[in-house]
C-alpha cells in the first residue's frame, strides 16, 4: 500500500515521487515514531540532501503510539493521534510503502526486499523497527483472545472484545497494562490486573506511590492482584479464564499481555549486524556496517536499551546531524517518566532506591492524594517520585540532569519550584522563568523550554499555535500548564485564548489569514506563505485548499484558481467511491429534466457500463461506477446534451430543491419551480467555504424541505418567507427566520447577498449552521435584512464574482457569462448594483 503522490485532493496515485536522481537514497525501515522523527530532524537540517523511502509494517501513516491508550478509552480517535498525515509524506517527496514490511536486507548489494517482493536499493539504510511485545509462554498463550497492547490492530481487537462484553484479565501492572485495564473498564468490561511484583509500576514508583496508585485504581472498579503469578490460560479454542499458581481461577474472555517489550532485531541479526540486547550503535547511531544506521527502541548504545520516548528524540537529533556531516554525537540519556495512568498523574526520574549516603525528603498529603519524594545525595538530586501532583517534575529533572547544588534550597525543595523561586511564596511565573532553556517541557515530543520560547517568538500567540508550531503539549497534554505559563510569561495579556490555527503549517487562524490577504494585497499562495511565515515549504492538504478559496473569494477575476490545491472530487467533477470508481451527477435545474437529458444519461450509463443510477435527495440522477479514465468522455457526452456539472462533490452550490408550486399543485401559492431555477442559475458555479443547498417550497406545507437548507424560501400568498442556516445530516438543524419579501426579485437579491456574506466571512469547511451559531442570527439579519446599502453591495460583489466563475474544462457553461448575467439582470431589484 503506497501513500505517495502529488495529488492535493488526497488521492492515492502510487508511484515514486518526482525527485532529482542525483540525491542519495535513504531507506527507512519503520514508519513509527523514531523513524519518522529521524526524517523530520533530517529535513529540518537539509531537506534536499536525501531522497527518502519509508517502509511501514502497518497500513497507516505515522501515529503517536503513546496515545493508543486514549483511543482505547474513547477519549481520542485514530485521526487525533496522527503525527504525520499523508500530506507530510507528499509535501516532502517521501515515498511511503505502508502495510508491506521489509523482510530481508542485502548489505552487499545495498538492497532491501519487502514482503510483497518489492526490492529497493539504498545508499544509506536506517533501521527503526522498534520493539516487540513479550508474550509469557505459559500454557494457553496461543489461544484466540490472547493479545498484546502495542499497535492500532491490538486496540481494534480490544474494542471488538469490549463490544462483545465479558470479563478481561490484564497480565502486567506496568504502564501499558494499567492503561489497557483503564480503557477496557471505561468500555464496560470487568477487569482484573495481575502483577507478579508486590508494587505496581515498580520501575517508576516506590512502594508508597505504588500503593496510592493501586488504591485509586481499585476505587475505580478494577481488581488489582499483586504478587500474582500466572500458571496457565484456560480454554479450548478461545480464552475462558486465567489460573494462578496458587490455584485461583479468574474467568475471562480476553487476556491482554502487557509484561514488557524487547528490541526487534530480527532483520539486523539476519543481515549479520552486530547484536547484543539491541542493535549495536555508536554515538552517531551507526551500526557495525557504516552504510546502516539504527535508532529507537531496537538499538543498544553503550550497553543500554531505552524503552522511553525522550531518549529516542536525542538519538534522532544525533543521527540527523551525522547524516548532514555535523556529527554532534549521542552521549546517552538521563530518563524521566511523566505520565497519566488512568487519569492519575505520576512522575519519576533517576534512582529512587536510596542507599548509603542518600536522604529522602518526603511530603504526604493524604486528603488530596499527593505524595512527593525527592532523593538527595551530596546536595544533589539523584531521584524523585511524584504522585498526584507532578507539576514540579520538570524542575526536579532539570536539577538532576545539571547536578545542581541544592544546599540553599534544601528547606523548601519539597514544596516545589514556585515556592522556592518566589522566596517562600508560590509564584508560577517565577518558577517557569527559572527553568533553563534546555529544560524539557514536553517529554512526549522532546521539546525544551528554549524551543517553546522560540516558537512563541516566531508568532505563536495561543496554546493551539504552540502545539502546531513545535508540538509541545500536542500529545498527552500533561505539560499544558507549563506551556501556558510560558505563554503568559512571554506575552502577558497578548495571549490569545482558544485561538485556532489553520493547520500545523502556521500559527495564524482562518480569520487572521483572510484579513491579512486583503490588508496586504496578497495575490498567490506562495506569497501568503512567505509573508505569513509558513513553517512548511508548500503547505499541506488542509491549508492549501483554504488559501486557494480565500484568494479566489478576495480576488475574483484576478486570481487564477489553483486546481492542484483542490480536493480530488472538485478537480474530477465526480465523487470518488470506496471501490475507486466515481459517481457523476449532472445538474438538473430545479429538479426539472427533459427527454434529451434523460436520453443522454441513459446513453452514458450503457456506453460506460455504469452499474447503478440513483435518484438523489436533491432531485437529480447519480451515475455510479464510472472509471477515472472515462470521466473526460462521460462529461463530453453530457455536455453535448447541454448538461453541466452538478457539483455534488464540491465546496459550492449543490442543489436547489423545488416542489411543483402553483403551476400544478392546488395548494401552491407561487411558482416555486420557476423561482428555484432562477436562483440556481444565478448561484451555480460559485465556490463557497462548504457545500451549500437551497430549496424553494410553493406553500407552507414545505414539500421541498426549505427549512433544513442553507437558504430556504417558503412561498406564501403575500410573498416569500426567507430563512437561513439549516442542514440535515447527523445533526439536523432547522433554519432561522431571516425576513419576508414581496417579490421574486427581492428573494433573489437577498439570496445573493447572504451567499456573498457567507463566502466572505465564514471559515473554510464551516457550514452555514455553525457559522450562524458562531456569529449570531441577529448579526445576519442586520447585514442582510436591515442594512439596505450593505445588502446591495454584497449582492453586487456576488454577481461580479459570478461573472468570472471558472469551471472544469470537461464541462461547459450552458450559455456564456454575458448572456447568463443579462438573464439574471431581469430579476435584480432596482438599484441593486452600485
> Residue 455 annotated as binding?
no
Q: Hey, what's the cell of 654? A: 449543490
Reported in sequence order, the residue ranges of 22-181 that DSSP labels E, i.e. its strands, are 24-29, 50-56, 62-63, 82-84, 95-98, 102-106, 111-114, 119-121, 124-127, 131-133, 146-148, 167-171
- Count Cα neighbours of 749 within 13 Å in the Cβ-side half-sphere: 26
Give the whole-angstrom CA distance, residue 37 versus residue 305. Answer: 18
Contacts of 345 (CB under 8 A, 6+ apart): 386, 387, 388, 389, 390, 478
Coil, helix or strand at residue 96:
strand
The residue assigned the cell 499527593 is 370
CA proximity to 35, closest of 327, 285, 328: 285
- Parallel/antiparallel/unpaired status of strands 124-127 and 24-29: parallel
Q: Hey, what's the cell of 153? A: 490492530
SS (H, E, C) 696-752: EECCCCCCCCHHHCCEEEEEECCEEEEEECCECCCCCECCEEEEEECCHHHHHHHHH
- Parallel/antiparallel/unpaired status of strands 380-387 and 447-448: unpaired
> Residue 665 annotated as binding?
yes
Give the whole-angstrom CA distance, residue 177 versus residue 174. Answer: 5
Structural contact between residues 727 and 769, judged by C-beta atoms closer than 8 angstroms: yes
Structural contact between residues 662 and 698, judged by C-beta atoms closer than 8 angstroms: yes
Structural contact between residues 714 and 695, judged by C-beta atoms closer than 8 angstroms: no
Give the DSSP per-residue string, 571-639. HHTSEE-TTS-EEE-B--GGG---HHHHHHHHHHHHHTT-SEEEE-TTS-EEEEEE-GGGHHHHHHHHH
CA proximity to 531, closest of 554, 555, 547: 547
The residue assigned the cell 430543491 is 657
- Parallel/antiparallel/unpaired status of strands 62-63 and 82-84: antiparallel
Give the whole-angstrom CA distance, residue 281 versus residue 204. Answer: 26
Give the whole-angstrom CA distance, residue 453 versus residue 457. Answer: 6
Q: Alpha helices of 99-206 — where are they, by DSSP H?
A: 152-164, 175-186
Structural contact between residues 522 and 488, judged by C-beta atoms closer than 8 angstroms: no
Q: What are phi and psi of 191, to 5 degrees?
A: -120, 135
Which class for 632: exposed (0-12), middle (13-18), buried (19 or more C-beta within 10 A)? middle
Q: Alpha helices of 170-301 — where are they, by DSSP H?
A: 175-186, 207-219, 266-270
Give the whole-angstrom CA distance, residue 237 versus residue 596. Answer: 63
Give the DSSP per-residue string, 674-695. HHHHHHHHHHTT-B-SS-EEEE
Q: Hey, what's the cell of 465? A: 499555535
Which class for 705: exposed (0-12), middle (13-18), buried (19 or more C-beta within 10 A)? middle
Give the whole-angstrom CA distance, residue 640 versus residue 98. Answer: 43
Q: In Å, how far are 13, 91, 192, 373, 607 from 120, measured between CA atoms?
A: 19, 22, 47, 53, 42
Q: Hey, what's the cell of 749? A: 437579491
> Residue 503 annotated as binding?
no
Give the whole-angstrom CA distance, residue 663 versus residue 681. Answer: 20
- Indicate the DSSP class of residue 630: G
Please state the separation of Cα 285 from the chain's center in Å.
31
Structural contact between residues 510 and 469, judged by C-beta atoms closer than 8 angstroms: no
**Which residues define the annotated binding site for [4Fe-4S] cluster?**
659, 665, 699, 703
**Which residues define the annotated binding site for siroheme?**
703
**Which residues define the annotated binding site?**
659, 665, 699, 703
Amino acid at each position: 500500500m503506497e501513500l505517495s503522490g502529488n495529488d492535493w485532493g488526497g488521492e492515492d496515485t502510487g508511484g515514486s515521487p518526482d525527485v532529482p536522481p542525483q540525491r542519495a537514497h535513504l531507506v527507512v525501515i519503520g514508519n513509527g515514531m523514531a523513524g519518522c522523527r529521524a526524517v523530520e530532524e533530517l529535513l529540518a537540517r537539509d531537506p534536499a540532501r536525501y531522497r527518502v523511502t519509508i517502509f511501514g509494517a502497518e497500513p497507516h501513516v505515522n501515529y503517536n503510539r503513546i496515545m493508543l491508550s486514549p483511543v482505547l478509552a474513547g477519549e481520542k480517535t485514530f485521526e487525533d493521534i496522527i503525527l504525520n498525515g499523508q500530506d507530510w509524506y507528499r509535501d516532502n517527496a517521501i515515498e511511503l510503502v505502508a502495510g508491506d514490511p521489509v523482510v530481508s536486507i542485502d548489505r552487499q548489494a545495498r538492497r532491501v526486499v519487502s514482503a510483497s517482493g518489492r526490492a529497493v536499493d539504498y545508499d544509506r539504510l536506517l533501521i527503526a523497527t522498534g520493539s516487540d511485545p513479550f508474550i509469557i509462554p505459559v500454557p494457553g498463550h496461543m489461544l484466540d483472545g490472547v493479545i498484546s497492547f502495542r499497535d492500532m490492530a491490538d486496540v481494534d481487537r480490544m474494542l471488538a472484545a469490549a463490544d462483545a462484553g465479558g470479563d478481561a484479565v490484564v497480565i502486567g501492572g506496568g504502564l501499558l497494562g494499567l492503561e489497557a485495564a483503564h480503557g477496557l473498564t471505561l468500555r464496560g468490561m470487568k477487569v482484573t490486573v495481575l502483577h507478579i511484583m508486590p508494587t505496581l509500576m515498580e520501575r517508576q514508583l516506590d512502594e508508597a506511590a505504588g500503593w496510592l496508585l493501586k488504591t485509586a485504581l481499585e476505587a475505580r472498579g478494577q481488581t488489582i492482584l499483586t504478587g500474582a503469578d500466572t500458571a496457565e490460560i484456560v480454554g479450548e479454542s478461545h480464552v475462558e479464564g486465567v489460573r494462578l499458581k496458587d490455584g485461583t481461577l479468574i474467568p475471562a474472555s480476553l487476556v491482554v499481555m502487557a509484561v514488557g517489550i524487547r528490541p526487534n532485531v530480527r532483520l539486523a541479526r539476519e543481515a549479520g549486524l552486530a547484536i547484543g540486547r539491541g542493535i549495536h550503535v555508536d554515538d552517531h547511531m551507526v551500526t557495525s556496517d557504516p552504510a546502516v544506521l539504527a535508532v529507537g527502541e531496537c538499538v543498544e548504545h553503550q550497553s543500554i536499551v531505552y524503552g522511553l520516548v525522550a531518549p529516542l528524540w536525542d538519538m534522532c537529533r544525533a543521527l540527523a546531524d551525522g547524516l548532514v556531516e555535523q556529527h554532534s554525537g549521542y552521549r546517552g540519556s538521563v530518563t524521566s517518566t511523566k505520565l497519566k495512568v488512568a487519569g492519575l498523574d505520576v512522575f519519576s526520574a533517576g534512582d529512587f532506591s536510596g542507599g548509603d549516603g542518600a536522604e529522602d525528603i518526603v511530603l504526604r498529603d493524604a486528603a488530596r492524594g499527593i505524595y512527593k519524594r525527592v532523593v538527595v545525595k551530596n546536595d544533589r538530586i539523584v531521584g524523585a517520585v511524584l504522585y498526584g501532583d507532578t507539576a514540579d517534575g520538570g524542575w526536579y529533572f532539570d536539577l538532576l540532569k545539571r547536578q545542581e547544588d541544592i544546599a540553599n534550597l534544601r528547606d523548601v525543595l519539597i514544596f516545589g519550584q514556585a515556592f522556592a523561586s518566589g522566596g517562600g511564596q508560590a509564584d508560577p511565573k517565577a518558577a517557569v522563568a527559572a527553568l533553563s532553556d534546555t529544560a524539557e517541557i514536553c517529554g512526549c515530543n522532546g521539546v525544551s523550554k528554549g524551543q517553546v520560547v522560540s516558537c512563541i517568538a516566531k508568532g505563536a500567540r495561543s496554546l493551539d499555535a504552540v502545539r502546531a508550531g513545535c508540538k509541545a503539549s500536542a500529545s498527552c497534554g500533561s505539560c499544558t500548564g507549563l506551556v501556558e505559563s510560558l505563554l503568559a510569561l512571554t506575552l502577558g495579556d497578548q495571549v490569545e485564548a482558544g485561538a485556532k490555527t489553520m493547520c500545523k503549517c502556521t500559527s495564524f487562524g482562518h480569520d487572521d489569514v483572510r484579513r491579512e490577504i486583503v490588508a496586504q494585497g496578497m495575490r498567490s499562495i506562495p506569497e501568503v506563505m512567505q509573508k505569513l511565515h509558513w513553517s512548511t515549504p508548500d503547505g499541506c492538504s488542509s491549508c492549501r485548499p483554504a488559501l486557494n478559496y480565500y484568494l479566489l473569494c478576495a480576488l475574483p477575476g484576478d486570481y487564477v484558481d489553483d486546481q492542484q490545491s483542490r480536493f480530488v472530487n472538485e478537480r474530477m467533477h465526480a465523487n470518488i467511491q470506496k471501490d475507486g470508481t466515481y459517481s457523476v451527477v449532472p445538474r438538473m435545474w430545479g429538479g426539472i429534466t427533459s427527454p434529451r437529458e434523460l436520453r443522454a444519461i441513459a446513453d452514458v450509463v450503457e456506453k460506460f457500463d455504469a452499474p447503478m443510477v440513483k435518484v438523489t435527495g436533491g432531485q437529480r440522477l447519480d451515475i455510479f461506477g464510472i472509471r477515472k479514465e472515462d470521466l473526460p468522455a462521460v462529461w463530453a457526452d453530457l455536455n453535448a446534451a447541454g448538461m453541466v456539472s452538478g457539483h455534488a462533490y464540491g465546496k459550492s452550490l449543490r442543489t436547489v430543491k423545488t416542489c411543483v408550486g402553483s403551476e400544478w399543485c392546488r395548494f401552491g401559492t407561487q411558482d416555486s419551480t420557476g423561482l428555484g431555477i432562477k436562483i440556481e442559475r444565478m448561484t451555480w458555479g460559485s465556490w463557497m467555504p462548504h457545500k451549500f443547498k437551497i430549496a424553494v417550497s410553493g406553500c407552507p406545507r414545505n414539500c421541498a424541505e426549505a427549512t433544513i437548507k442553507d437558504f430556504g424560501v417558503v412561498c406564501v400568498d403575500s410573498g416569500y418567507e426567507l430563512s437561513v442556516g439549516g442542514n440535515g445530516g447527523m445533526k439536523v438543524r432547522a433554519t432561522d427566520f431571516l425576513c419576508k419579501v414581496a417579490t421574486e426579485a427581492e428573494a433573489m437579491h437577498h439570496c445573493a447577498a447572504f451567499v456573498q456574506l457567507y463566502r466572505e466571512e465564514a471559515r473554510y469547511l464551516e457550514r452555514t449552521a455553525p457559522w450562524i451559531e458562531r456569529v449570531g442570527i441577529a448579526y445576519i439579519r442586520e447585514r442582510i435584512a436591515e442594512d439596505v446599502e450593505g445588502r446591495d453591495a454584497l449582492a453586487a460583489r456576488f454577481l461580479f464574482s459570478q461573472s468570472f466563475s471558472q469551471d472544469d474544462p470537461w464541462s461547459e457553461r450552458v450559455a456564456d457569462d454575458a448572456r447568463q448575467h443579462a438573464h439574471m439582470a431581469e430579476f435584480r431589484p432596482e438599484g441593486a448594483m452600485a
